[in-house]
Amino acid sequence: MQSGGGFDVPAKLKEMEKLEAETMDSGFWDDQQAAQKKMQSMSALREIVETWDAIYRRANDALELYAMAEDDPEMLTELEQEAGALEQELERREFTLALSGGHDADSAILSIHAGAGGTEAQDWAQMLLRMYLRWAEKRGFKTTITDMTQGEEAGIKSVTVEIDGPYAYGYLKSERGTHRLVRLSPYDSSNRRHTSFAKVEVVPVLDEDIDIEVDPNDIEIEVFLSGGAGGQNVQKNATAVRIRHLPTGIVVTCQNERSQTQNKASAMRVLRGKLYDLEQQRLAEEKARLKGENVQADFGSQIRNYVLHPYQMVKDLRTNAETGNTGAVLDGDIDMFIEAWLKQQVGVA
């Protein structure tokens, strides 16, 4: 069975069977990290294949029964109910058609940067961090904060989080862009309404065999003392690493790990993801130019408003998906926005 939108279920089945065959190899678990990643991919593929296979079989069974039920009103009623249930299930699952990109199944690196506005924007960045951590927790994804710069009074200036789980990048790529908050400021003695902005970036965690060229002559590496919350676990040695990519100006920092070597590896992983994302933006812009489309192909435009005053509303400006349950959204219930955006990508209303 092949679904629309380029989502080829037989190809997914073949990929799953290939991974299953690899797990039988005697040296499969020699590299624990690589093996666990493949097991995650296999589990995600199995869920997709089994779900769409079940829908396909139910639809075929219903069609066969319909041919036999022309003179049976009771059976026709049951088939109408089954058709309605199938339609609902199809609508619920159609957003997965957009999860067929080359790195959609991979883990993700999510970064949040407070916009202009000092403490207000920094507090908003921390609220977004909590929202994404709660979303990941509800999905059973592992999260690791690899770098964070605290605000002067409250909140955070920036943070980078690695989110490890099947299709983390495929889902979270919908979140990149500028997020806008409107609320009564808890930091304003006059209790005035403030508007704050924060930018979200999302890139995939790339396998080492993915060809993203990083010329050693194009990077500057700086080592410095890790900043922590204090106490016995603060690093006394210079273990934090900052890498600057000279051709693009991209700067990445990692100070979460215990050793300089580990922090350098994590920073390089983030850099490779950002360079991949930059190339994807370039290709999207070139494609739009060749097609003559008047579109903005960058990922930095405002995508969503979170209004806490004078009314309660979260609205996505790309899909018009909205809800008045702002508390639930800020507690990580963002699937409705993610799914609406993914459906939009494959032309599903």
- What is the pLDDT, as a whole number, of residue 298? 40
Please tell me the class of the 9-98 domain: mainly alpha
Residue 347 in this model has a pLDDT that exceeds 80: no
Q: CATH for 108-345, among 3.40.30.10, 3.30.1490.190, 3.40.50.300, 3.30.70.1660?
A: 3.30.70.1660
> Residues 162-183: what's their mean pLDDT?
93
- What is the pLDDT, as a whole number, of residue 237? 59
E-strand ranges in 129-239 read 142-150, 156-164, 177-184, 193-204, 219-224
Task: Say which residues have a Cβ less than 8 Å from residue 336's Cβ, sequence separation at least 6.
Answer: 321, 323
Under 8 Å between Cβ of 197 and 117: yes
> Are both 9-98 and 108-345 of the same fold?
no
Q: Write out pLDDT tens, residues 238-293.
A: 789 999 999 999 999 998 877 888 899 889 989 999 998 888 888 777 766 665 65
Strand order in the sheet with 250-254: 219-224, 240-245, 250-254
Q: Write out pLDDT tens, residues 38-62.
A: 887 788 778 778 888 888 888 888 8
Give the whole-angstrom CA distance, residue 295 versus residue 245: 28
Banded model confidence at residue 340, pLDDT cuts 50, 70, 90: very high
3-state SS, residue 151? coil
Domain ranges of the chain: 9-98, 108-345
> Residues 138-163: what's their mean pLDDT?
93
Banded model confidence at residue 296, pLDDT cuts 50, 70, 90: very low
CA end-to-end distance (rounded Å), the chain: 22
- What is the pLDDT, as a whole number, of residue 325? 98
- What is the pLDDT, as a whole number, of residue 221? 95
Residue 312 in this model has a pLDDT that exceeds 90: yes
Identify residue 178 by its one-letter amino acid code: T
Residue 297 in this model has a pLDDT that exceeds 70: no
> Residues 100-120: what's their mean pLDDT?
87
- What is the pLDDT, as a whole number, of residue 227? 64
Residue 6 in this model has a pLDDT that exceeds 60: no
Give the whole-angstrom CA distance, residue 347 versus residue 95: 10
Give the whole-angstrom CA distance, residue 240 versus residue 219: 16
